[in-house]
Amino acid sequence: MTLPRFHLAFPVRDLEEARAFYGGLLGCPEGRSSPDWIDFDFYGHQIVAHLSPGEVGHRSTSAVDGEDVPVRHFGAILTLPQWEEMADKLKAADTRFVIEPQIRFKGQPGEQATLFFLDPSGNALEFKAFADDAMVFAK
């Protein structure tokens, strides 16, 4: 079965910053663009950075396993080796983490590697990985 792709539009304060961050640091290939937006291939999904400086930044957090998780966030579920590579890449780029790379829900259903950081516009991103894919929706 082929999984459907998702589409996410989000605000940014500056398109060139977004292009450097998503295209450069995260390695997301760029698709179409205009003076007001840029499409990126985000692990096979379409995300669109829209120029809207008044809408940027995360504002609220929620407690999850002892951490203050940004309520509005997006990201990708990677394989564990991809996640480790991403964590190393972000550390090498001196990324300021909102939540440092760690294992959440240790020894429980849904155990996962996770990390959170902000893009230049203050949008929160989470990258996570599961040692066992059956744990993605485990209760």
pLDDT at 1: 53
pTM comes to 0.91
Q: Break the chain into its structural domains and give their ranges.
A: 7-54, 61-135
Average pLDDT, the chain: 94
Reported as a single tens digit per residue, the pLDDT across 22-68 is: 999 999 999 999 999 999 999 999 999 999 999 998 778 888 988 88
**Is CATH 3.30.1490.150 the right assignment for the domain spanning 7-54?**
no
Query: Which three-class secondary structure string do you get for 64-133?
Result: ECCEEEECCEEEEEECHHHHHHHHHHHHHCCCCEEEEEEEECCCCCCCEEEEEEECCCCCEEEEEECCCH
pLDDT at 116: 96
DSSP class per residue in 44-60: TEEEEEEE-GGG-S---
CATH of domain 61-135: 3.10.180.10
